[in-house]
Amino acid sequence: MQKQQLLTKNQKIIFDIIEKSPEPLKAYTILFNVQKKGIKAPLQVYRALDKLVEIGKIHKIESRNAFIACHNSSCQVAKATAFSICEICEKVTEISSAGLSKYLANFKDKDGMKYSKYNLEFFGLCKKCR
Amino acid sequence: MQKQQLLTKNQKIIFDIIEKSPEPLKAYTILFNVQKKGIKAPLQVYRALDKLVEIGKIHKIESRNAFIACHNSSCQVAKATAFSICEICEKVTEISSAGLSKYLANFKDKDGMKYSKYNLEFFGLCKKCR
DNA sequence: AGTAAATTGTTATAATATAACACTATGTAA
DNA sequence: TTACATAGTGTTATATTATAACAATTTACT
C-alpha cells in the first residue's frame, strides 16, 4: 500500500478515476473526465497510463483498448494477467486463480521455452447476459 | 482446404500477403503492399481482415495490432488462440498445445463459469534473442 | 429473371497513440 | 549547496489504427 504514495500528481488523478470506475476506461474517456483537473492533452494521460501499467496498478485490456485497476493484491507487476470479458455488456473481471496462474507460469512451449509474462482474455457471456 | 476457394478477390489478396509473411502484418502495411493490386482504401483491408479473422484463417495479435495466418490446422474458427511473442525481435509464434487448449477450454472461474473463447499472449525472449 | 445477402468502392472522419522539444521537480552524491 | 542524473510535465503537432455512411456490384439461390 506504500506504492500509492509514490504516484505523482497526474498518475494519481488518472489512477483514481480508473479505480473508481466499475468498467474499463478508454484513454480518451479518461481525458475528457480529467480536463477539469488540468490535464489537457492525450500525452499526459498516456504517460500516466504507461507508468501505472508498468508498476502494475492498472492493466490494459488489449482487445478493448481500455484500462482497469488491478484487483489482485498479489499482482504488483503487470506480468501475469487474466480477464473474463462479457461479449454483450462488456463487463470485465480480473481472474485470480492460483491454479490458472500456476499452470501458465509453468507452461513450456514445444521448444521447452518458458515465458516470464502473459496476458489471457476469456470471452463469453456473463451471468446477467445469458 | 476447401475454405481457400470461398475467399473473395480482396480476401484472397489480403490473405496471401499475410500467409507469405514471416511476421505479423499491420493493416496499413498490408494496405501499402496491395495498392498495386487495386486495393486503395483502409476499409477494403479491414473488411477482408474482419472476415478472415471471423472464419479463422488469420488471427489478430491484440497487443501488437497485427495479423498472422493461422498455422494450426485444427483451428477453423478463431475461438481459442495462444501465441508467444518475443519482446526484442517481435517474432510471433502460434502455440498449439493440446494440454494448454484443453486446460483453458475447461477452465472455470470462481463462479463456475466456462468460457467459449479465449486469447492468450505469452511474452518473453526467443531463442535467438537471449 | 428475381431477390436476398454479402461484398465492393469511395469519401470522409473518428479513435487511438506517439514524436519532439523545452521545461520542472526530485533524489542523490560530491 | 551545488552539481548531476532521472523522472515527470506541458505543449503542439502528427502518426497510426479503425469505422461511418452510402451507392454500386456481385453472388448464390429460387
- Residue A38 belongs to a domain: yes
* Chain B CB within 8 Å of residue A50 CB: no
One domain, residues B89 and B125: yes
Confidence of residue A71 (pLDDT cuts 50, 70, 90): confident
* Chain B CB within 8 Å of residue A111 CB: yes
One domain, residues A53 and A99: no
Instruction: State residue A3's pLDDT score.
Output: 39
Instruction: State residue A18's pLDDT score.
Output: 98
Q: Report d(CA B61, CA B13) in Å as an integer.
A: 20
Pairing verdict, β B80-86 and B92-94: antiparallel
Q: Which three cell numbers stand for residue B89?
A: 525481435
- Could A93 and B109 be called an inter-chain contact, meaning their C-beta atoms sit closer than 8 Å? yes
Q: Which residue has the cell 451471468?
A: A127
Q: Amino acid identity, residue B98?
A: A
Q: Is A98 left (phi over 0), alpha (psi -120 to 50) or beta?
A: alpha
Pairing verdict, β B66-69 and B58-61: antiparallel
Confidence of residue B1 (pLDDT cuts 50, 70, 90): very low
Instruction: State residue B8's pLDDT score.
Output: 96
pLDDT digits (tens, 9 = 90+) for A32-53: 999 999 999 999 999 999 999 9
- Residue A7 belongs to a domain: yes
One domain, residues B60 and B86: no
One domain, residues B64 and B91: no
CB A70 within 8 A of CB A59: yes
pLDDT digits (tens, 9 = 90+) for A102-125: 999 999 999 889 898 999 999 999
* Chain A CB within 8 Å of residue B32 CB: no
One domain, residues B9 and B34: yes
Instruction: State residue B77's pLDDT score.
Output: 62
- Phi, psi for B112 (deg, rounded to 5): 80, 15
Q: Which residues contact B103 (CB under 8 A, 6 or more apart)?
A: A103
Q: A41, A69, A97: which is the final residue of a domain?
A: A69
Instruction: State residue B5's pLDDT score.
Output: 55
CA A108 and chain centroid, separation: 25
Q: Which residue has the higher pLDDT, A112 or B42?
A: B42
Number of domains in chain A: 2
Confidence of residue B75 (pLDDT cuts 50, 70, 90): low
One domain, residues B62 and B11: yes
Nucleotide nearest A47, from its CA to each C1': D8
pLDDT digits (tens, 9 = 90+) for B19-33: 999 999 999 999 999
Instruction: State residue B34's pLDDT score.
Output: 97
Alpha helices for A35-97 (secondary structure H): 42-54
- Residue B7 belongs to a domain: yes
Give B124's contacts in chain A (Cβ within 8 Å): 113-117
Instruction: State residue A76's pLDDT score.
Output: 54
Task: Give CA separation, B121 vs A122, A129, B109, B110, in Å.
Answer: 12, 27, 19, 22
| A84, A95, A120: residue with CB nearest B120 | A120
Pairing verdict, β A80-86 and A117-124: parallel
Which segments within A3-70 are labelled E, that is strand? Answer: 58-61, 66-69
> By residue range, what is the domain housing residue A86?
80-125
One domain, residues B57 and B114: no
Nearest CA among A48, A43, A50, A68 for reference residue A58:
A68
One domain, residues A62 and A84: no
